[in-house]
């Protein structure tokens, strides 16, 4: 197995599993255990609200602190240059910055570290502003700041260089596994962004049909499909399936089955573009009671029913019929009225879910004479010629009997085969079979597995125009991933094999599947997948796992500084 | 260039930055973050996925990126040139409060006779801001009290603006929306009755205090929500549905219920349209919780009672007119195109929809009528935070492939 | 000064909530000092017990709202560890109310001072830790 190229620091090796090994760190200094402390005045929001010189005095006398400077703005250009200077002058191998929140400035100082040969994970930032000077009185703020900075210094003294690397994608191709519209749109977006695609479809992709248009020009999707199947930049496997999917973001490997052949491919990202399927309710007999999709086909064949009743509720208790129901109904209703203004259309609904601009369709339908009956209970149907639909009209409080040549019912959306796909890609599926997008951070279309994106009605019921937005958004994210540098490693977990008892607790509790049992029979952490949360470290019964920037000792030395004694 | 630093603009900027494309992120406000800064978390111990915190969390990533230059207090004055080579003139009007010197002592707020200075809210960075509509100096009086009171000398009311010209390859418009001003519908007495608030005002209060605070001297026992204020309203020129109000109101109602188990809540609605279709249906909640009612009706008006409390006048299903008194009424206000969008669209040569939003393609979301210019977020139509982020991502992809010269 | 209170805050929500409280100038007792963890799930019973042994009068863990943990289930794990630790404290004769787990959102600046208030009032009620200083 060849080593990935472009990797600066970490020697990643083996089939897609990055081992947490001591890296060849680029010109970083040897460890000197000399700490620098830089206190920020923060323009008066620190200095002026506490006695910063007192802090400096108390901190400079700590063991290991070679220099303790008060600066106007360490985060500014001048400040950063001064820090770099101090690192050189005092031969520091780590430093502490005390000022505002690390959530705002941490990256800045990690860059300063990199630029001066200091491992960026040997920088500790103490918050003496939002957590101190902004909210406490002068003396209290001062004594608390002293404790906070001392705690940071003590932690800093226990830091060790963490392995990390910035890598670019090994593979620029994106794997798209899909069964419908979202797959086509995703591939189209990838192609328009100059990408290369492996497209896997569970059936012959020439048979991809698109049922409902919702504002998309008819024929557009079919033309897109044909263009994609013809494109040099797309390798199509269909009928095909994905059997295994492994590796790290930007460097995945997948095992595909295409027809009778097995094929292994590499890709930088994957998109699962899955559509749920329409499941018509049992009462649909195909003649008098049909689905909205069937009605659309009828209308395309110019067969306009004389009187139609559209039922947009489910027989079961589920109150919400799905986002697409009323949009389909309104469009078909409007089409009927355009083709035959005398035809009768009644839409039976609990609420008319004409979201957003669709409300305009609702207004137009009303003005064209489409009747809307609001009801809380499912109507009764009396078979015969014509059909009679009996519905309790909520607004007038009476039962209505409506004659109908045709009745349309709302289909269920049901995703199929998603359990298996979910397991292959590491993308969890809920109890109804829908893919679960990550709840973490605002990352629409992302699954919890980094590098795998989700789109389609198999994630959530949505209208075709929403599918288009989602699929293009997912494809955009996938392209961004394969085109960007990602940093791996750093504040990650590491297992001490001597303490590990291979109990598998870490393997079971990690949400990102980073721990695995290695060849030695002990647990190891794939730092390409490790997100640095420390759940494994907190749960390990043998205390075999530590996090580089959050070891047990580093935590306890902070609590010691913060609580120990009343006269620090 | 990305115009607008709300969630859509930020998502677009981050997507581009991740691909190594330099972004100038412009916002007319003194802090970035857009409207999400004014919204509150709707969860208590469990997350209800209202996405508000996720939007504000993203701000931090902007500050950390080396590929994004943030230009606050900046507006686009004019745009010339052609796709791939736009020349933009920016108008910068820096805040009178210099963040560098400000130490947040709050003396200016204390001393201002017009209550025109507000302390920092969320957003990055946090700045004190002076409301030019309320400030006496801005209105022509010779008041310099804040300048004089500031021990840091951080305030300079006459701080001059400047112009800046830049050349950019592509532009993403993400200027957000304007909430419907409930004062425009005097039937609801928003400016008259202290207990009548817009949903956004309520969110702002909850995000600061953690709860809804009833007007002085009253207690919050009976609360009403009036949906579709400024939406589905031909009289006020807004025919469409604002899509997100039912979802957000439900979130607020559930939160307040969790905080006040005895609170009586009544919803006045036309159609119940919770956009994400998850969670309990309002009518089911009402049927199992005696303190919750759902009434399908659009109130005719809200009048003050003798004690100054809001009284809602509405027609019930049986066609009879009812009047009910509440302690507070929240008006779920709809979305309208952002201020100045018509003007901006004209300057950029973009087509707008009949409703005044930027026209984008259904088949290629974020693409506008002009190559090289893209649009995302609520300026293309009402949407929630997640969809705005999605559209921002789509805009990043479109803009990147445009700039990279991809097929 | 009422006592020494250590707050283990997750770097996403707990810490951000404290940041926001600071920026909004919402005052609270300086008795509280924050230790940043990458995720509340990093917490080990060990850290909590050591903090008490080192002289803390109360300890809390602040993680994200349930369902919104940046690492999926870190906050659930944290709650389990906290409950385990409460049990151990009780068996050591230390009132388990000195320890608590809170779920807070990153944009709930108002909530952090309330959490502090809660812990401070518990210390006021229960008095200093029976372990004393450096017990």
pLDDT tens digit sequence for C18-32: 999 998 889 999 999
ipTM above 0.90, yes or no: yes
DSSP-assigned states of every residue in B255-267? HHHHH-TT-EEEE
Q: Tell me whether A564 touches chain C (CB under 8 Å).
A: yes
Sort out which chain C residues have CB atoms less than 8 A from B104's CB and list them: 23, 25
Asked if A487 is an interface residue toward chain B (Cβ–Cβ < 8 A), one would say: no
Q: Average pLDDT over chain B, rounded to whole?
A: 91
Domain range annotation of chain B: 2-93+161-177+337-403, 96-159, 180-334
What architecture is domain B2-93+161-177+337-403? Answer: 3-Layer(bba) Sandwich (3.50)
Backbone angles phi, psi at B124, to 5 degrees: -130, 125
- Biggest CA pair distance of chain A: 97
Place of tokens 């991740």: B18
CA distances from A535 to A522, A546, C80 (A): 18, 10, 12
Whole-angstrom distance, CA of residue C99 vs CA of residue C76: 16
More confident residue, A27 or C126: C126
Name the more confident of A568 and B375: B375
Over residues B128-156, the mean pLDDT reads 85
**pLDDT score at B360:** 95
Is the pLDDT higher at C132 or at A148?
Answer: A148
Say which CATH architecture domain B180-334 belongs to.
3-Layer(bba) Sandwich (3.50)
Residue C98 clears pLDDT 50, i.e. is over it: yes
DSSP codes joined into one string, B283-328 = HHHHHH-TTEEEEE---SEEEE-TTS-EEEEEE-TTS-EEEEE-SE
Which residues in chain A are contacts of C73 at CB distance < 8 A? 509, 511, 535
* Residue range C109-129: mean pLDDT, rounded: 95
Give, as one character, the DSSP assignment of residue C69.
B
Show which of residues 1-40 on chain C sit within 8 Å of chain B, judged by CB atoms.
12-13, 16, 20, 23-25
**Which token pair is B186?**
């005097």
Q: Is residue A7 pLDDT above 50, yes or no?
A: no
What integer is the mean pLDDT of A487-491?
88
Residue A321 predicted with pLDDT over 90:
no
In chain B, the largest separation of any two C-alpha atoms, in whole Å, equals 69
**Which residues pair with residue B328 across a beta bridge?**
B223
Determine the average pLDDT of the residues in B247-254. 94
Chain B positions in Cβ-Cβ contact with residue A479 (cut-off 8 Å): 19, 397, 400
Predicted pLDDT of residue B272? 93
Q: Is A317 exposed, middle or buried, given 0-12, 13-18 or 19+ CB atoms closer than 10 A?
A: exposed
pLDDT more than 70, % of chain A: 93
* Whether residue A10 has pLDDT greater than 50: no
Chain A residues within an 8 Å CB radius of B6: none
Q: How far is A139 from chain C (nearest CA, A)?
A: 10
Q: Does residue A486 register a pLDDT over 60?
A: yes
Does residue A22 register a pLDDT over 50?
no
B2-93+161-177+337-403 and B180-334: identical CATH topology: yes
Q: How far is CA A560 from CA A101, A148, A150, C55, in A?
A: 22, 11, 10, 8
A134 part of contact set with chain C, CB < 8 Å: yes
Taking an 8 Å cut-off on Cβ atoms, the answer to whether C111 and B210 are in contact is: yes
A55 — pLDDT class (breaks 50, 70, 90): very high
Coil, strand or helix at A15: coil
pLDDT-derived band at A284, boundaries 50, 70, 90 = confident
Give pLDDT tens digits for A381-401. Answer: 888 777 899 999 988 889 999
Residue B286 has pLDDT above 60, yes or no: yes
CA distances from B202 to A94, B171, B283, B293, C22 (A): 47, 34, 23, 20, 23
Q: Does B107 touch chain C (CB under 8 A)?
A: no
Determine what percent of chain B is predicted with pLDDT higher than 70.
97
- Span B333-341, mean pLDDT? 94
Mean pLDDT of A77-89: 92
Element (H, E) at A326: helix A325-339
Distance CA A35, CA A27 (A): 19
CB contact under 8 A, C106 and B57: yes
Enumerate the domain spans of chain C.
5-108
Of the candidates C13, C25, C105, the beta carbon closest to that of B106 is on C25
pLDDT band at A330 (very low <50, low <70, confident <90, very high): very high
- What's the pLDDT score for residue B298? 93
The angle subtended at Cα C110 by Cα C108 and Cα C116, nearest 5°, is: 110
Q: What is the mean pLDDT of chain A?
A: 88
∠ CA A183-A187-A190, nearest 5°, is 140
Here the tokens at position B376 are 């995302």
pLDDT digits (tens, 9 = 90+) for B58-93: 888 998 888 999 999 899 999 999 999 999 999 998
Q: How does pLDDT run across A550-560, given as a tens digit for each residue?
A: 999 999 999 99
Query: Which pLDDT band, with edges at 50, 70 and 90, does A534 fall under?
Result: very high
**CATH code 1.25.40 for C5-108:** no
CA distance A119 to A163: 9
Per-residue confidence (pLDDT) for residue A440, from 0 to 100: 66
CA distance to B85, B116, B133, B134, per residue, from B139 (Å):
40, 11, 7, 8
Contacts of C43 in chain A (CB under 8 A): 538
Task: Pick one of 3.40.50.2000, 3.30.365.10, 3.10.450.240, 3.30.70.20 as the CATH number of B96-159.
Answer: 3.30.70.20
């Amino acid at each position: 197995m060849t080593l990935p190229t472009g990797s600066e620091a970490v020697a990643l090796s083996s089939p897609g599993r990055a081992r947490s090994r001591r890296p060849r760190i680029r010109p970083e200094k040897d460890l000197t255990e000399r700490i620098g402390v830089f206190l920020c005045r923060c323009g008066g929001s620190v200095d002026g609200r506490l006695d910063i010189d007192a802090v400096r005095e108390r901190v400079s006398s700590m063991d290991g602190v070679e220099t303790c400077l008060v600066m106007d703005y360490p985060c500014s250009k001048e400040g950063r240059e001064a820090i770099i200077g101090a690192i050189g002058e005092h031969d520091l191998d780590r430093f502490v910055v005390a000022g505002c929140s690390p959530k705002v400035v941490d990256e800045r100082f990690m860059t300063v570290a990199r630029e001066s040969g200091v491992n960026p994970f040997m920088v500790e930032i103490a918050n003496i502003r939002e957590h101190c000077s902004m909210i406490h009185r002068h003396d209290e703020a001062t004594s608390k700041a002293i404790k906070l900075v001392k705690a940071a210094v003590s932690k800093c003294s226990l830091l060790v260089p963490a392995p990390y690397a910035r890598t670019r994608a090994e593979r620029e191709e994106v794997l798209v596994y899909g069964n419908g519209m979202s797959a086509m749109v995703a591939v189209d977006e990838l192609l328009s962004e100059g990408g290369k695609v492996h497209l896997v479809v569970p059936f012959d992709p020439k048979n991809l049909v698109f049922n409902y248009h919702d504002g998309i020009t008819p024929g557009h999707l079919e033309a897109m499909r044909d263009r994609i199947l013809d494109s040099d930049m797309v390798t199509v496997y269909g009928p095909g399936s994905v059997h295994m999917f492994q590796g790290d973001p930007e460097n995945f490997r997948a095992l595909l089955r295409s027809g009778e052949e097995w094929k292994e491919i590499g890709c930088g990202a994957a998109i699962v573009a899955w559509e749920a399927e329409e499941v018509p309710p049992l009462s649909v007999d195909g003649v008098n009671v049909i689905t909205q999709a069937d009605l659309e086909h009828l209308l395309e064949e110019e067969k306009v029913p004389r009187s139609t009743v559209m039922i947009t509720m489910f027989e079961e208790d589920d109150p919400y019929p799905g986002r697409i129901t009323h949009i389909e109904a309104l469009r078909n209703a409007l089409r009927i009225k355009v083709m035959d203004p005398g035809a009768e259309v009644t839409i039976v609904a609990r609420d008319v879910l004409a979201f957003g601009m669709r409300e305009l369709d609702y207004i137009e339908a009303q003005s064209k004479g489409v009747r809307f009956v609001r009801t809380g209970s499912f109507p009764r149907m009396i078979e015969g010629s014509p059909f009679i639909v009996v519905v309790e009209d909520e607004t007038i409080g009476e039962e209505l009997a409506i004659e109908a040549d045709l009745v349309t019912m709302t289909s269920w959306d049901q995703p199929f085969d998603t359990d298996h796909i979910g397991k292959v890609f590491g993308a969890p599926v809920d109890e109804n079979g829908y893919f679960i997008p990550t709840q973490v951070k605002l990352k629409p279309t992302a699954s919890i597995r980094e590098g795998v994106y989700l789109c389609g009605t198999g994630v959530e019921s949505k209208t075709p125009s929403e599918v288009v937005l989602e699929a293009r958004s997912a494809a955009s994210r996938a392209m961004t991933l394969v085109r960007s540098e990602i940093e791996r490693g750093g504040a990650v977990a590491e297992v001490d094999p001597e303490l590990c008892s291979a109990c598998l607790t870490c393997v079971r509790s990690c949400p990102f599947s980073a721990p695995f049992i290695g060849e030695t029979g002990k647990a190891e952490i794939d730092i390409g997948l490790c997100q640095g949360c420390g759940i494994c470290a907190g749960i390990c019964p043998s205390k075999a796992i530590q996090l580089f920037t959050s070891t047990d000792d580093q935590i306890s030395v902070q609590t010691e500084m913060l609580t120990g004694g009343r006269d620090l | 260039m990305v115009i607008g630093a709300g969630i859509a603009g930020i998502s677009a900027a981050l997507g581009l930055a991740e691909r190594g494309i330099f972004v100038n992120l412009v916002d007319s406000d003194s802090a970035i973050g857009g409207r999400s800064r004014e919204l509150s978390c709707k969860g208590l111990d469990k997350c209800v996925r209202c996405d508000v915190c996720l939007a504000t969390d993203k701000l931090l990533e902007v500050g950390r990126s080396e590929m994004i230059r943030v230009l606050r207090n900046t507006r686009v004055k004019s745009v010339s040139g052609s796709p791939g080579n736009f020349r933009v003139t920016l108008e910068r009007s820096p805040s009178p409060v210099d963040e560098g010197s400000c130490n947040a002592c709050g003396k200016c707020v204390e001393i201002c006779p017009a209550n025109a200075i507000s302390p920092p809210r969320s957003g990055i960075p946090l700045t004190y801001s002076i409301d030019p509509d309320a400030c006496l100096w801005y209105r022509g009086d010779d008041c310099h009290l804040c300048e004089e009171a500031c021990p840091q000398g951080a305030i300079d009311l006459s701080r001059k603006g400047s112009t800046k010209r830049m050349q950019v390859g592509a532009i993403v418009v993400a200027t957000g929306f304007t909430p419907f001003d409930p004062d425009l519908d005097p039937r609801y007495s928003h400016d008259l009755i202290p207990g009548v608030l817009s949903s956004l005002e309520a969110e702002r209060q909850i995000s600061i205090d953690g709860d809804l605070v009833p007007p002085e001297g009253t207690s919050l026992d009976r609360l009403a929500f009036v949906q579709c204020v400024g939406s589905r309203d031909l009289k006020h020129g807004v025919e469409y549905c604002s899509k997100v109000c039912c979802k957000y109101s439900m979130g607020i109602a559930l939160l307040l219920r969790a905080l006040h188990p005895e609170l009586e809540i009544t919803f006045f609605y036309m159609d119940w349209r919770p956009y994400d279709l998850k969670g309990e249906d309002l009518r089911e909640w009402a049927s199992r919780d005696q303190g919750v009612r759902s009434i399908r009706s659009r109130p005719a008006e809200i009048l003050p009672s003798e004690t100054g409390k809001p009284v809602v006048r509405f027609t019930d299903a049986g066609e009879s007119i009812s009047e009910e008194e509440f302690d507070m009424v929240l008006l779920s206000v709809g979305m309208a195109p952002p201020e100045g969008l018509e003007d901006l669209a004209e300057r950029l040569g973009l087509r707008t929809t009949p409703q005044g939003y930027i026209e984008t393609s259904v088949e290629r979301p974020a693409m506008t009528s002009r190559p090289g210019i893209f649009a995302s977020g609520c300026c293309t139509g009402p949407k929630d935070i997640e969809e705005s982020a999605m559209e921002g991502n789509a805009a990043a992809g479109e803009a990147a492939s445009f700039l990279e010269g991809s097929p | 000064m009422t006592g020494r209170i250590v707050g283990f805050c997750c770097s996403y929500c707990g810490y951000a909530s404290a940041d926001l409280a600071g920026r909004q100038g919402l005052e609270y007792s300086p008795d509280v000092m924050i230790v940043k963890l990458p995720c509340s799930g990093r917490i080990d019973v060990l850290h909590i017990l050591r903090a008490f042994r080192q002289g803390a009068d109360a300890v809390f863990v602040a993680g994200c709202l349930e369902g919104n943990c940046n690492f999926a289930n870190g906050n659930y794990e944290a709650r389990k560890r906290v409950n385990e630790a409460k049990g151990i404290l009780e068996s050591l004769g230390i009132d388990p109310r000195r320890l608590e787990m809170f779920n807070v959102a990153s944009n709930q600046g108002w909530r952090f001072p309330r959490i502090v208030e809660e812990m401070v009032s518990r210390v006021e009620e229960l008095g200093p830790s029976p372990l004393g200083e450096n017990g």
